[in-house]
Amino acid sequence: MTGPSRPSRARAIHISLGAGLGALASGVDHALGAGAVPARFELAALAAFAAFALGLFAMIGRAPLARGGAIALAAAALAGGAAIWAGLRYAPPVTLPDRYVPLVIVLIALPLPHLVAMARRDDPLSPAVFHDEAAALCLRGAAAAAFTALVWGVIALSDALLGLVGVDLLDLVAALPAGEWMISGAAAALALSTLGARAPRIGRSAAGRLVPLLVPAALFSTGVFLLALPLRGLSGLFDGVSAGAVLMATVATLAVLIAVALGGRPEEAVAGRAMPAMVRLLAATIPILAICAALAIGVRVGAYGWTPARVTAAAGVAVALVWGAACAWAVLRPGGWAHRLRRVQPALVLAAPAAALALMTVISPEAISARSQVARGAVGTPPLDARDRRAIAGWGRAGASAARSIGPAPDGSQPDWPEALAIVGDRAAAQSLMAGNPELSAEVVRACAIATPQGRPGCVLATVRIDGAQGPAAVLGLARTQTTAEIVMLGADDREWRRAAADPVPLSDLDALHRDGVTPTRREIDSLKFGSTDLLLLP
């Protein structure tokens, strides 16, 4: 009797690994939902897990798991560490803004072909190796998603069939700890393992046949834009907020089309006379589009100053300009243009993750923007309105400091906190505390959009006088989910808001805070009580 074949053993290991990653995903989801991770480091936890899980999934069937796991772990440490560093720009308990999510995605996803090549001990900057691994990742990722959906379709159909005889299969799956996550992970790993060796050839063939068909349409639309450019002028093209984003997205799309059309090897490039010429013309338009994107961002910055979104967009423009310079260097010189462009593409792909990493570590969009808006406020042209001041206050520690430097709105109104915030207790004291601490305004806006069980806004600020303290203390209740809330406190002698409890409180306690405010309780250690929540006041 013979044992299981080597491919069967490898596939069993891959399925077990996928189920384990599914269980780990369930644990991360549970930890984030329970508030076990500080709010400003939630994205760091997700980034570290996503980098590790996606890296390991990418290695299945393509590279030795031990070496691939070590590389995936290093990628997780880099992504998580960068997100933690970015989170330090915000005072607790503020959550890292959503604008960092695309940076994390770029940092994790784009280097995956290079990481797989490193795990296979191939040259990650080789055009042939890079195209093989990129094609394999795209094909296997699509196949894994489709196969996982098919598995759940079979499970749903089986549940309906077994329900006729009184067996509820989905309830049995739900009763298993992390059952849904483990099944999804195992199904994805099975698809990845099955397509491991065949994926590069199939992926190259499919992409090489289908994607170049879009080159004529892309060249036509880009040509129409460039012809309209001198007729419309910059003012007609760049007066919209999203013009720079559209141009950068166009550059990225054209770069993908050109890369697939050229292939990783000369024999994989598009053939004939017309198609190579169109690809070359398309590559020649990238420098022009990149310059237009830079002008679009420059127009907005010149008119309204820097914001974190514009700093991020400027980094994207820098990447587009690098691509444009490479395309100009390749296509404007005679002979061998395809070889020159094909040779530099694997390195060019890393420009975007490098920019994302810089924005999360050494370059602070918030600090750059805060300095710009302080200068704009000093000049007063154009004037900063209430919305501008509220936005600036939400840019982390640098933004809060800038908001205090800029001062209140000219009409004396308080723009830093949303009008939906309910105030219980001493309103004048509450407004004084709000004016001195604008950094939570973005968090309050998100919380106010969630309703309590009794239909009140999920944001309430209650003030209370404590014996022996110089001034009032404040309790700020912020809804986090449909069932939980977080409590933030500002003590009478504190300078920064701080998290009042490690665990979330029931959302229903915000109704009690709305209705009755907060009650001081005298005992061995003083506390503040509302609803079922009892906050200890540590000396």
190-220 tens-digit pLDDT: 999 888 766 667 766 777 677 778 888 999 9
Neighbour count for residue 179 (Cβ, 10 Å): 17
Q: Are 441 and 478 in contact (CB under 8 A)?
A: no
- Specify the pLDDT at position 19: 93
Nearest CA among 359, 362, 393 for reference residue 377: 393
368: tokens are 């750059």
Look up residue 451 and give its DSSP letter. B
pLDDT band at 131 (very low <50, low <70, confident <90, very high): confident
DSSP string, 413-447: ---SS-TT-EEES-HHHHHHHHHH-GGGHHHHHHH
Q: Are 156 and 170 in contact (CB under 8 A)?
A: yes
What does the H/E/C string look like for 28-66? Answer: HHHHHHCCCCCHHHHHHHHHHHHHHHHHHHHHCCCCCHH
Q: Is the pLDDT of residue 117 over 70?
A: yes
258: tokens are 């050109």
Can you tell me the mean pLDDT for 73-96? 87
pLDDT band at 413 (very low <50, low <70, confident <90, very high): very low
Q: What is the dihedral of CA 190, 191, 196, 198, to 10 degrees?
A: 140
- Specify the pLDDT at position 103: 94
Can you tell me the mean pLDDT for 229-257? 74
Element at 486 (helix H, strand E): strand 484-490
Q: List C-alpha distances in Å: 424 to 198, 431, 506.
A: 65, 11, 19
- Specify the pLDDT at position 506: 85
422-461 tens-digit pLDDT: 888 777 666 666 655 555 666 777 788 888 888 888 888 8
pLDDT band at 59 (very low <50, low <70, confident <90, very high): very high
H-type alpha helices, 238-336: 243-262, 274-304, 308-331
Q: Are 506 and 485 in contact (CB under 8 A)?
A: yes
Nearest CA among 81, 97, 12, 17 for reference residue 48: 81
How far apart (Å, rounded) are the C-alpha atoms in residues 384 and 122? Answer: 54
- Specify the pLDDT at position 72: 96
Distance of CA 494 to the CA centre of its chain: 33
DSSP string, 496-521: S-EES-SS-EETHHHHHHHHH--EEE
* Lowest mean per-residue pLDDT among 124-133, 210-219, 358-367, 517-526: 517-526
Which residue bears the tokens 């280097």?
111
- 308 three-class SS: helix
Please enumerate in sequence order all residues whose Cβ is within 8 A of that of 460, keeping only pairs 6 or more positions apart, or say none: 421, 422, 423, 424, 476, 477, 510, 513, 514
* Residue ranges covered by each domain of the chain: 11-196, 209-363, 366-406, 422-536
Amino acid occupying residue 12: A
pTM, rounded to two decimals: 0.75
Per-residue b/e over 314-349, b at no fewer than 16 CB within 10 Å? bbbbebbbbbbebbbebbeeeeebbeebbebbbebb
- Report the greatest alpha carbon distance in the chain: 89
- Quick one: residue 61, left, alpha or beta (phi over 0 = left, psi -120 to 50 = alpha)? left
- 529 three-class SS: strand
CA-based torsion, 138, 139, 141, 142: positive or negative:
positive
Amino acid occupying residue 522: R
Residue % of the chain over a pLDDT of 90: 35
